Each structure stands twice: as C-alpha cells, then as structure tokens.
Amino acid sequence: MNYPLNSKFLAGVFVGTLKFKASAKRDHTSKTGRWKWENGLIRPWFCLPNSHRLLLKGRTCSLKFRLISSWLILLLVGPMWGQSNLDSNKIVKVLSFNILHGRTTKGDFNLDVLANLIKKYDPDLVAMQEVDFKANRSKRYDLATEIGWRTHMVPLFGKAMDFDGGQYGEAVLSRFSILQSRVVALPNLPKQEPRAALEVVTIIPSGDTIAFVGTHLAHEGEAGRILQVEKINEVFSQNEYPTILVGDLNAKPGSEPIRILQQHWTTSYGIGEPAPTYPSDQPRIKIDYVMFHPENRWKVLDRVVIQDTVASDHCAYLVSLQLVPAK
C-alpha cells in the first residue's frame, strides 16, 4: 500500500516533535512518585496500546527523548515515503501461464484452480498458452471466456489451429479495455503444430498506451522456433507503443531463439541465473518468459515464479514492470 506522504509531512512531524512541550503534574495517587504526561499528548498514527499515557520519572521531556522520537518516526515512514514516489498508475503486472488446456496435473478438468491462482496474484494482463476454444477434449468450453468470467477480466482468444472439433491457440486476459487486437500466424516446419502470437493494445491507468503480446513457440525443435522468433522480431519490434512480450517459448536462456529475440527485446530476469519455470513439481529449466521493448521504457520492479504443482505442469511467471518516460 502506498501512503500519501511527502516532504512537507515529514518535515512537519520532525519540527512538530522538536517543538513539543508537555506539562506534567504529579500523580498524587501513585505511591511510586512517578510523573505521567497529561497534556501535550503525542498520538502518532502508529500508536501502541496505552501509549496515550507515557510514564516518566522527570517533569519534562528531554531534548534527547524528543530527538529520538523524531528519528524513530522518520525511520518508520521513510520507506513508505520512498514507495509513494512510484506512480502506481504506470505499474503493470503481467503473468505468463501455460494452462494445459484446462486440466490440472491430477488429470481433472478444473478451471477454478486456474482462476484462483490468477486472482491470488492479481495481474493486470495475462498471456495464456495451450488454450482450447470449444474443443471436444475441453467439454466444448470457450476457456478464455470461462476463465475471464471467473477472474473478472476481459478475455480474448487467438486461434493458432483447428483442433478436435474446435480451435487451439493463445489467449489474453486484461484488466483494461482492449483498443485493438491482432493474431499473427507464425511460420512452422512440416509436421509441426501451427503457432501464433496474439497482440492487444490497451491503455493503462496513467493514460499511456501499450501493447501486450502473448505467444507459444514450437516444442518440436529449435529450427521451428528460430523461424518463429524471426517473425516476432520482424512484426512487433516496429510497434508504435511500448510493448511487452510474454509466453512459453520452449527455449532455454542462451539458446539461439532467445539470442535472436534479445536483438530487440530485453529479458526481465537480468544478468543473474534465471529461475526455472518447468516442470512445476521440480523446476529445472526456464522456458517461460516476460520480455519488453524498448529497453529504456520499462523498469523491472519484481518477478515471481509461482510454483503450483496442481494448476499446471508449468510454473506461472509474474513480473511487475513500470513504464518510464522516454529519454
């Protein structure tokens, strides 16, 4: 939570405490002869039980005591003051989540488990992979709409291929209104599943327009993934708006597809060892990503690998990004 603190408030607390003068009177009912504060009462917002009556042995509050009190207050509120400098309207929480076409690792079809995980971490934008649209294996449900309804988010499905009496592809959930969208078919080699990238353009609470792209690259081999990331770079690196790329890329950090993407995109995990995201029961490799472009428009605030061994065979990957002014 961000508290509306500023420098004037802190200065007022400090100066006000230094100017504090209390009159004390003897507690004639006390056999200990202690003095208690009756006037000049300090009531900070974080007051402890019974802090309305401080028992002191002297008649006046020493300057030392007042200085210590002032600095304690500053130490307590200082971190929150720093947090208040972050414009929450420019912070976007994005989630990559391979939903295993609605089935849990126990083998049952359970959309509530997926929705509960999303609601718990409260993202603004979600890119979901392995999403069925009215396919027989998923009870002919429109999974994006079903999960969107459960999470109170705007759903959008993007078809990669026809499948099992319905369709299969990507989906996006958005906390914000969707201005426009497009599905970009990605190239695939013979006998490989067709893949796609689903893009939405939206306006975040600060009034800034951003693009959000969800995708799922080929699992059959690196050659297909290389073709697909080259297409992604060709299409989305020229976007008019700051863009976030999210998805199950089926490629490890340092692999050729990731190196190609990094020609235009910045990874969210930085230089250090990236946390693994697959499989969810014992994560060993990282294949789920959040990237962004251009680099100077985004700042990574936080990243969390969500290890839920039931919801999916992938860990969900949550990243908080701040949109910063163009330099």
Summarised one tens digit per residue, pLDDT across range 85-125 is 689 999 999 999 999 999 999 999 999 999 999 999 999 99
Q: What is the mean pLDDT of residues 314-324?
A: 98
Query: Who has greater pLDDT, 57 or 94?
Result: 94
Domain CATH for 152: 3.60.10.10
Amino acid 23 reads S
Per-residue model confidence (pLDDT) at position 326: 86
| pLDDT exceeds cutoff 50 at 3 | no
* pLDDT confidence band for 286 (50 / 70 / 90): very high
Q: What is the mean pLDDT of residues 38-59?
A: 41
Last residue of a domain, which of 84, 104, 125? 84
**Is 113 contained in some domain?**
yes
Let me know: does 263 contact 233? Beta carbons within 8 Å. Answer: yes
Q: Residue 62: which of 43, 44, 31, 35 has the closest Cα?
A: 35
Both 256 and 177 in one domain: the answer is yes
Measured in whole angstroms, the distance separating CA 111 from the mean position of its chain's CA atoms is 21
CA distance readout (Å), 48 to 57, 106, 254? 20, 48, 53
Q: Residue 245: which of 193, 207, 294, 204 has the closest Cα?
A: 294
**Is 147 contained in some domain?**
yes
pLDDT tens for 136-178 read 999 999 999 999 999 999 999 999 999 999 999 999 999 999 9
| pLDDT exceeds cutoff 70 at 237 | yes
Both 249 and 279 in one domain: the answer is yes
Q: How far apart are the first and last CA of the chain?
A: 29
**Is 1 contained in some domain?**
no
Both 133 and 114 in one domain: the answer is yes
Quote the mean pLDDT of the chain: 83
**Is 269 contained in some domain?**
yes
Last residue of a domain, which of 84, 106, 138? 84
Per-residue model confidence (pLDDT) at position 68: 56
| 3-state SS track over 192-231 | CCCEEEEEEEEECCCCCEEEEEEEECCCCCHHHHHHHHHH
Per-residue model confidence (pLDDT) at position 4: 42
**Is 312 contained in some domain?**
yes
Lowest-confidence range among 36-45, 131-140, 301-310?
Answer: 36-45
Let me know: does 104 contact 312? Beta carbons within 8 Å. Answer: yes
Both 60 and 124 in one domain: the answer is no
Which tokens belong to 30?
């006390």
Q: What is the mean pLDDT of residues 24-32?
A: 38
Q: Residue 316: which of 143, 150, 121 has the closest Cα?
A: 121
**Is 63 contained in some domain?**
yes
Q: What domain range is 23 assigned to? A: 7-84
Per-residue model confidence (pLDDT) at position 180: 97
Lowest-confidence range among 28-37, 59-68, 135-144?
Answer: 28-37
**Buried b or exposed e, range 220-257, using 16+ CB within 10 angstroms:** eeeebbbbbbbbbbeebeebeebbbbbbbbbbebebeb
Q: What is the mean pLDDT of residues 240-260?
A: 97
Q: Residue 241: which of 201, 290, 299 has the closest Cα?
A: 201
Look at the block and give the residue holding tokens 């002032």: 70
**Percent of the chain at pLDDT exceeding 70:** 74
| pLDDT exceeds cutoff 80 at 57 | no
SS3 270: coil
176 vs 124: CA distance, rounded Å: 7
Both 12 and 153 in one domain: the answer is no
Per-residue model confidence (pLDDT) at position 76: 55
Both 231 and 130 in one domain: the answer is yes
Both 287 and 225 in one domain: the answer is yes
Both 37 and 152 in one domain: the answer is no
Q: Residue 177: which of 152, 154, 158 has the closest Cα?
A: 154
Both 318 and 172 in one domain: the answer is yes
Both 61 and 202 in one domain: the answer is no
Per-residue model confidence (pLDDT) at position 273: 78
| pLDDT exceeds cutoff 60 at 268 | yes
pLDDT tens for 179-231 read 999 999 999 999 999 999 999 999 999 999 999 999 999 999 999 999 999 99
**Is 173 contained in some domain?**
yes
Domain count, the chain: 2
Q: Is the pTM for the entire model greater than 0.85?
A: no
Per-residue model confidence (pLDDT) at position 120: 98
Both 25 and 92 in one domain: the answer is no
Last residue of a domain, which of 84, 109, 142? 84
What is the spatial order of strands in the sheet that 55-56 belongs to?
24-26, 35-37, 55-56
Measured in whole angstroms, the distance separating CA 240 from the mean position of its chain's CA atoms is 23
**Is 2 contained in some domain?**
no
* pLDDT confidence band for 306 (50 / 70 / 90): very high
Amino acid 169 reads G
Both 61 and 176 in one domain: the answer is no
